[in-house]
Amino acid sequence: MLKGIAASKGYAIGKISIMTHQELTIDESTCESVELELTALKDAVVNSKEQLQALRVKTAENIGEHEAMVFDSHMMFLDDPEFVGAMEEAIQSEMKRAASAVEQVKLFFKNMFAQMDNAYMRERAADIVDVSNRIIKNILGISSEVNDLPENTIIVAHDLTPSDTAQLDKSKVIGFLTDIGGVTSHSAIMARSLEICAVVGMGDITSTVKNGMECIIDGIKGEVILSPDQETLEEYKSLAEAYRKKRIELKKYKDLKLAYKDGREILVAGNIGSVKDLDSVIENGADGIGLFRTEFVFMDRDVAPTEDEQFEIYKTVAERMSGKPVVIRTLDIGGDKQIPYLHLEQEMNPFLGLRAIRLCFKYEDMFKAQIKALLRAGVFGDVNIMLPMIGTIDEIRQAKKIIEKCKNELKEEGIPFKADTPVGIMIEIPAAAIAADILADEVDFFSIGTNDLIQYTLAVDRMNSNISHLYNPMNVSVLRLIEMSIKAAHKAGIWCGMCGEMAGDLRVTKTLLEMGLDEFSMSGSSILDVKELIYNELK
Ligand code: PEP
Ligand code: MG
């Protein structure tokens, strides 16, 4: 039995699949047979089409028609005689191997699209890269999908990036184990959203296990049992069954409206990173969305999404929440969330570096596209804009100026938007909590980001499993900062929520209620447990 950090609750009983990142190594030597290379290319194009067709259907079913449309444009490229023809030409005239011919044509078209004036066409560069890499992988016999996996798979990896986690198919992957990471690393947060059981910070699990090994994950205790005997297997099967029953029993709290004794309502909301996460949040009876981490919308692509693309996503979220409050946070890139196409400098301390709002001020056009999309989505629901990593009043004022600029541009463009969209901030830097009374006058709401607030207050890296015992939500300094923020918000007549993982931590729910927190926002999987506890505390 091995021990790690329990990152996402539940039990998983399945077989291990070790995930490693495979680089595409392309042989640039001349080929021996043009015919064979042409056939390899042709087969790879046919396979790619079949995969894309299947992905299209699956994405439309699981995520949405709009998200599925990206695969239409990929398939269009495969039908384009100029695109595939250029690959055949490179094989025939330059004796290139199929994969190297695809790589050459990919770079040519990518650069051509990237230089176009029209933003829509520029963004097709990402599709070119994506579809070309799929053909190359098919030629080289490398699987494109994380999800070409049997049912009941337990993924083992050194680390999973948030985008690896986002791609996991819940119908196949029932759990994951990683060498590194902590409870508030973003892959752990996503595991909770996806309701996939996970234990992280396991040290060296990758070299301890073998592919196909039987494994049990106890996501409650943070324990892992390899090659269990029959008796242990039976014991965990009944634990898993009891857990499943408890989840069903908790459903009775789904539509419960909670309030303090004085009638002030308490919202238990959900955190999401994509439209896909909405299902779990809605199923578990969220009173709204307290945090949409929009940076995930910017990942797994080669260029940033356009204003229109973002608008469609934010509108979908607003509409699906049917008038309930939806707090959408502007981009929080940096820290453990990186976006390759921004080519950001490597920093010594990325969590203290060019991150979130600081980065948005540097890339103002990208920020403006997001703000405009958010203002437009406000027409379709109760959208609230939230600014991350605010440390000073100047940052709020600078962001508000940009928001005003965006409103003026939308007005000139004649595009409908919600002019009085509320603007709030995250309280996740100690400086913001200490000056909460000053900042409260500038904004419409606060949401406390305890994941960062704890790490910055205690100087304990939230990702580092070596010091996870020091990462203590119950630390008096942390609790004082939280209380100060809630008090300052109420004094200024605004609401204060919490969207860090602490909002779903049952050990502190009572304390947060005593402080008068207005909104608790967490992964879908924790909502009902928190609703049950609040109900019992206040009844
Ligand atoms: C937080 O810091 O608590 C938070 C909610 O933001 P993130 O986890 O995305 O940094
Ligand atoms: Mg944060």
pLDDT in tens, 417-474: 999 999 999 999 999 999 999 999 999 999 999 999 999 999 999 988 889 999 999 9
3-state helix, strand, coil in the chain (%, to 5): 55, 15, 30
Q: Is residue 29 part of a domain?
A: no
Q: Is the pLDDT of residue 22 over 70?
A: no
When pLDDT is averaged across residues 323-341 and rounded to a whole number, the result is 92
279 CB within 6 A, ligand 1:
no
Tell me whether residue 26 is in a domain: no
Q: Does one domain contain both 504 and 385?
A: yes
322 against 170, higher pLDDT = 322
> Which CA distances in Å does 299 have to 28, 62, 112, 178, 338?
30, 18, 23, 21, 8
**Tokens standing for residue 251:** 């459903």
Same domain, 127 and 153: no
When pLDDT is cut at 50, 70 and 90, the band that residue 63 belongs to is low
Active site residues: 186, 499
DSSP 3-state of 481: helix
Return the amino acid letter for 28. E
pTM: 0.75
Q: Does residue 24 form part of some domain?
A: no
Give the model confidence (pLDDT) of 360-411 as tens digits: 999 999 999 999 999 999 999 999 999 999 999 999 999 999 999 999 999 9
DSSP for 225-255 reads EES--HHHHHHHHHHHHHHHHHHHHHGGGTT
Which amino acid residue places its CA nearest to atom 7 of ligand 1?
A: 451
pLDDT band at 149 (very low <50, low <70, confident <90, very high): confident
Length of the chain as a residue count: 539
Average pLDDT score, the chain = 92
Question: What confidence tens digit (pLDDT) does each residue in 306-319 have?
Answer: 999 999 999 999 99
d(CA 20, CA 152): 19
Regarding predicted confidence, which is higher, 168 or 447?
447
Kind of pairing between the strands at 197-200 and 214-218: unpaired
Give the integer Cα–Cα distance in Å for 331 and 258.
31
Structure tokens that stand for 391 in this block:
């440390």
Spatial distance between the Cα atoms of 450 and 477, rounded to a whole number of angstroms: 12
Residue 185, domain extent: 2-19+146-249
Note whether residue 186 is domain-resident. Answer: yes
Q: Is the pLDDT of residue 490 over 70?
A: yes
Per DSSP, the three-state class of 513 is helix
> Could you say which ligand is closest to the alpha carbon of residue 497?
1
DSSP assigned state of 148:
-
In a domain, 25, yes or no: no
Q: What percent of the chain has pLDDT over 90?
A: 73
Sign of dihedral through CA atoms 252, 256, 262, 264?
Answer: positive
DSSP 144: -
User: Are both 67 and 100 inside the same structural domain?
Assistant: yes
Domain C-terminal end among 140, 168, 192: 140
Ligand 1 atom closest to the CA of 499, numbered from 1:
5
Q: Which residue has the tokens 């599925």?
A: 68
Asked if residue 178 lies in contact with residue 201, where contact means CB atoms within 8 angstroms, the answer is yes
Kindly state whether residue 270 falls inside one of the protein's structural domains. yes
Same domain, 343 and 284: yes
CA distances from 436 to 158, 487, 491 (A): 39, 9, 10
CATH number of the domain within which 524 lies = 3.20.20.60
Spatial strand order of the sheet with 223-226 comes to: 2-3, 223-226, 214-218, 11-18, 153-157, 173-178, 197-200, 5-8
Q: Is 182's C-beta closer than 6 angstroms to any atom of ligand 1? A: no
Q: How far, rounded to the nearest angstrom, does the alpha carbon of residue 402 sit from its chain's CA centroid?
A: 25
- Name the band, by pLDDT with cuts 50, 70 and 90, for residue 353: very high
- Please list the residues that pair with 517 across neighbouring strands: none
340 shares its domain with 458? yes
pLDDT of residue 69: 76
Mark which of 113, 140, 167 sits at the end of a domain.
140
Verify that 397 and 373 share a domain, yes or no: yes
Q: Is the pLDDT of residue 511 over 80?
A: yes
Tell me what pLDDT residue 168 has: 79
Coil, strand or helix at 101: helix
Q: How many domains does the chain have?
A: 3
Ligand 1 atom nearest to 186, measured from its CA: 8
Q: What are phi and psi of 254, to 5 degrees?
A: -55, -50
Q: What pLDDT, in 10s, does the model give residues 220-256?
A: 999 999 999 999 999 999 999 999 999 999 999 999 9
- The answer on 112 and 260 residing in a single domain is no
Asked whether 218 lines ligand 1 (CB < 6 A), one says no
Can you give the pLDDT at residue 465?
84
In the chain, what percentage of residues exceed pLDDT 70? 95
| Weakest-pLDDT range from 48-52, 356-360, 513-517 | 48-52
**Residues 122 and 264 occupy one common structural domain:** no
The residue whose two tokens read 């196949």 is 172
Ligand 1 center–CA 294 separation, angstroms: 12
User: Is 326 contained in some domain?
Assistant: yes
Q: Indicate whether residue 500 lines ligand 1 (CB < 6 A).
A: yes
User: Are the beta carbons of 386 and 428 closer than 8 angstroms?
Assistant: no
Residues 397 and 526 reside in one and the same domain: yes
φ and ψ at 21, to 5 degrees?
A: -85, 125
| Residue 432 to residue 388: CA distance in whole angstroms | 11
Flag whether 28 is in a domain. no
Ligand 1 centroid to 330 CA: how many Å? 12
Check if 521 has its Cβ closer than 6 Å to any atom of ligand 1.
Answer: no
Domain boundary among 199, 229, 249: 249
What CATH number does residue 115 fall under? 1.10.274.10
Which positions ≥6 away from 442 have C-beta within 8 Å?
Answer: 393, 396, 397, 400
Q: Do residues 396 and 259 both lie within one domain?
A: yes
CATH number for position 232:
3.50.30.10
Residues 42 and 155 in one domain: no
Instruction: Answer yes or no: do 99 and 159 share one domain.
Output: no
For residue 163, name the pLDDT band (cuts at 50, 70, 90): low
H-helix or E-strand spanning residue 217: strand 214-218
Tell whether the model's pLDDT for residue 518 goes beyond 90. Answer: yes
